[in-house]
Amino acid sequence: MEILFSLSIALFSGLLLSRLAKLLKLPAVTAYLIAGVLIGPFCLGAFGVEGLGFISLENVESFSIISDVALGFIAFSIGNEFRLTELKQIGKQATVIGILQAVFTTLVVDAALIGLHFLMPDKLPLPAAIILGAVASATAPAATLMVVKQYKAKGPVTQTLLPVVALDDAVGLILFAVSFGVAEAIIAGEISLVAIIVEPLLEVLISIVLGATMGLIFTFIERFFHSRSKRLAVSVAFVFLTVAISMLKFNIGGVHVAFSSLLSCMMLGTIFCNICDFSAELMDRLDRWTAPIYVLFFVLSGAELNLAVFKDYTVIIIGLVYIIFRCLGKYYGARLSADLTKADPNVRKYLGITLFPQAGVALGMAMKSMELGSIGSIVSNIVLFSVLIYEIVGPFLTKIALTKAGDIDPEKKSSNRIRHHDKTVPTTKI
């Protein structure tokens, strides 16, 4: 009973706060995150009433399956943006921007934090500074996608943004794996080429292969079902299955083998949208079905934010340096790479701002760094602090950037309701 009550409270709090956010002209995702903080273990949950709020971080983490599923659907939706017909126009441009801005951000943050390490070596060890540089490359696809969908953003910046965000996380995973291997080598006093080079490249490769294979099977099976409801059910089943398989971890010899659910589900969506001739209609229906899952995901993400990090002034100092230099890296990295590819003027000016949000992938990297003990705790605290700032401010800045770029029509309502004079809702077959 407590589980269902907690989930219902999470949904209601997110939805109610989104109404207030609309009056303040803030993105709904910001409202969901704030709602999570309010019903989390440091606010309402602190009263210890089970079901009324999340009474502990462990209580929030017990709902991690929802976050895993939500990230799978988000990656699947992003994969749907990699349509060959559209990529022929911006594919090379998005690829160059996606890779260069991620690498540039890592170098900028690494330089800033390594410099800070020499000023306060006891508070910020070198391995932690190196890992944080790689974490800085990751962007939050969930927050970005929600803003794009809520305001029905469409234009050059949005068209470039979605594939860049997808590539951003792929590059970020590689950079993190390499940086994590270097950090381990510094701590242990020995360098492992397997951990630094082989394992991250293998993770990316097998994740893409898994996603492509599942995409081919998915497209083949989908053709045997003709009603929209059954096709929707098959789609949900394949995202679930791909996320489940992506959780497998094992060792072959001395090599640790793991998958990235983000990359696998993204490739699942990419293969499906390019092979299946009715993918656009199905993706539209899937977006509506997943709306409550996305609300829960962001509310849970807000509840996971550990407000206790504000008690340590060193976390705040290092966190502010991390936030400032990551923003500079994202903005100028995107701007320089957009200039290099002769992108649209609005892409050059506003794309970097839309890459500020950071959450799921970065938090995943932070959890992975906990394997390094006290150094991992430092990384985790800095990332938690920055995510709290980024996820509340980031979506709002993304909305402003897309509006100024002309991708969001300020006069257009953001409601997802379908007006019957604009579109006829087809009758669903059962």
HEC per residue, the chain: CHHHHHHHHHHHHHHHHHHHHHHCCCCHHHHHHHHHHHCCCCCHHHHCCECCECCCHHHHHCCHHHHHHHHHHHHHHHHCCCCHHHHHHHHHHHHHHHHHHHHHHHHHHHHHHHHHHHHCCCCCCHHHHHHHHHHCCCCCHHHHHHHHHHCCCCCHHHHHHHHHHHHHHHHHHHHHHHHHHHHHHHHHCCCCHHHHHHHHHHHHHHHHHHHHHHHHHHHHHHCCCCCHHHHHHHHHHHHHHHHHHHCCEEEECCEEEECCHHHHHHHHHHHHHHHCCCHHHHHHHHHHHCHHHHHHHHHHHHHHCCHHHHHCHHHHHHHHHHHHHHHHHHHHHHHHHHHHCCCCHHHHHHHHHHCCCCCHHHHHHHHHHHHHCHHHHHHHHHHHHHHHHHHHHHHHHHHHHHHHCCCCCCCCCCCCCCCCCCCCCCCCCC
Rg (CA), the chain: 21
In tens, the pLDDT along 353-375 reads 888 888 767 776 776 777 777 88
Global pTM? 0.73
Give the pLDDT band (50/70/90) at residue 423. very low
CA pair distance 144, 161, nearest whole angstrom: 9
* Bigger pLDDT: 271 vs 199: 271
The answer for residues whose C-beta is within 8 angstroms of residue 309's C-beta and 6 or more apart is 315, 316, 319, 381, 384, 385, 388
The highest-confidence range among 26-40, 167-181, 223-237, 347-361, by mean pLDDT, is: 223-237
What amino acid occupies position 44?
A: L
Mean pLDDT, the chain, as a whole number?
82
Plot region of 31 (φ>0 → left; ψ -120 to 50 → alpha; else → beta): alpha
Structure-block tokens of residue 308: 């206790």
pLDDT of residue 159: 82
Count CB atoms within 10 A of the CB of residue 50: 14
The answer for residues whose C-beta is within 8 angstroms of residue 24's C-beta and 6 or more apart is none
CA angle 120, 188, 176 (to 5 degrees): 70
Averaged pLDDT for residues 378-400: 82
Give the pLDDT band (50/70/90) at residue 327. very high
The answer on pLDDT for 176 being more than 50 is yes
The fraction of the chain above a pLDDT of 70, given in percent, is 90
pLDDT of residue 236: 93
The answer on pLDDT for 25 being more than 90 is no
pLDDT of residue 52: 76
Q: Are 145 and 162 in contact (CB under 8 A)?
A: yes
